[in-house]
Structure 1
Amino acid sequence: MPLTFLTADREFDEAAAGPLPLPYEDREQWRRPYRPGPWRVGVAAVLLLLASFVLLSATVIALAGSLPGAGVCVAIAAVTILSAVRSLRVGVWVSRHGLRHTGFLSTTTLAWTQVGGVRTRQQPVKLLGLPRTVQGQALVITTAGGDVLRTLVTDHNSDFLGRGPAFERAADAVEAWAAEHA
């Protein structure tokens, strides 16, 4: 007897039984068709922990009487917190309106009419976004004009490293959205 309340992928187990429309599902809202991976969440958690130490330092510095130094520490903590939150927002988002690829510093949105195809292919991919490349799978988008755009997600990025089945589910979900709205 599986303990579904203890598993992280219980909704995927329930989805395997059959697609049931959810009462709160709003197709107008931008949604990520997968969960953020452990590497991404871990980096964000470490950044937030670092920000808490910097804020503690700002408190000590302010109590010592150096308000400009405390202000600098608060500014550093604010940038660290914003970086952690933004890193959690990075990824692919879909809605009825189109496909959105959110990077750390930029966001690209394509209407479904501009999308020619979304598919998975074998190619060299970056390991955790670092310069080192390994052979892996990548989800790529082709525009209606035939141009191949930048890789959306890979099985070696911070969302899917070591989570092959999760990458397959995410790629299938994005491809299904593209097929549905083509």
Structure 2
Amino acid sequence: MPLPFLTADRAFDQAADDTPLPYDDRDRWRRPYRPGPWRVGASALLLLLASYVLFAAVIIAFTGTLSGAVMVFAIALVVIAGALRLLRMGVWVSARGLRRVGLFATRTTRWERVASVRTVQQPVRWLGLPRTVQGQALVLVRKDRAAEELPPLLTTHDADFLARPQAFDRAADTVEAWAAEYGRV
């Protein structure tokens, strides 16, 4: 079963380097990069944990109370939903705007509100933890909140691009190309 949220589109991989927007249907939301090994590994571990919890729910259903089995099954569903949400996290683009999908919230910025999207050298969080290291970040500056500092869209040390600087450069260039095409920045 193909998981479209797990991989970038094949058109993106097969496009020439001089074509930053290789998609035919630009109204569809797309993540212009593949999720990194840290993100995929964490999701796989969560799904493995969920399988053990589901097995425990079956055992409890056969030997214990039904209410206990339902509670353990609900916990397994929450773990599965968290693993799938972890895989969906990242930056998504379409002709309508730029969408940042987080673990608990999704924020969409229309291209008309984007003042600039640029790569900057700055201290970034390592795998989202409080520890910061020097790295690159793709930042979004909105027209209506020019003075407000928004969290970076992508960094060289997040779960998608840790130890993959070429992937970060390609993803940042692609998001910047979408912003230049639709945002007229």
- Which TM-score tier does this pair reach, normalised by the shorter chain? 0.7 to 0.9
User: Is the contact made by 2:21 and 2:178 (CA closer than 8 Å) also made in structure 1?
Assistant: no
- 2:156 aligns with 155
Measured after TM superposition, the shift of residue 140 of structure 1 is 0.2
Matched residue type, 1:85: L
| CA distance in 2: counterparts of 1:129 and 1:150, whole angstroms | 11
Matched, 1:96 2:95: yes
Q: Larger RCO: Structure 1 or Structure 2 (Cα < 8 Å, ≥ 6 residues apart)? A: 2
For structure 1, list consecutive stretches of 5 or more residues without a partner in the other structure.
1-9
- 1:19 aligns with 19
After superposition, the C-alpha distances for 1:81-110 in whole angstroms (9 at most, x for unaligned) are 000000111110100000111111111111
CA 1:11–1:25 in structure 2 vs 1: closer, same or farther (change >3 Å)?
Answer: closer
TM superposition outliers: structure 1 runs of 4+ over 2 Å: 10-22, 145-149
The number of residues matched between the two structures is: 173
Identity %: 58
- Which aligned pairs between 1:24-103 and structure 2 lie closer than 5 A? 25-103=24-102
| CA distance in 2: counterparts of 1:101 and 1:94, whole angstroms | 9
Matched residue type, 1:163: R
| CA distance in 2: counterparts of 1:67 and 1:12, whole angstroms | 48
Matched residue type, 1:161: L
For structure 2, list consecutive stretches of 5 or more residues without a partner in the other structure.
1-9
Tell me the TM-score normalized by structure 2. 0.87
| CA distance in 2: counterparts of 1:119 and 1:21, whole angstroms | 17
Tell me the TM-score normalized by structure 1. 0.88
CA 1:21–1:91 in structure 2 vs 1: closer, same or farther (change >3 Å)?
Answer: closer
**RMSD over aligned Cα, in angstroms?**
2.1
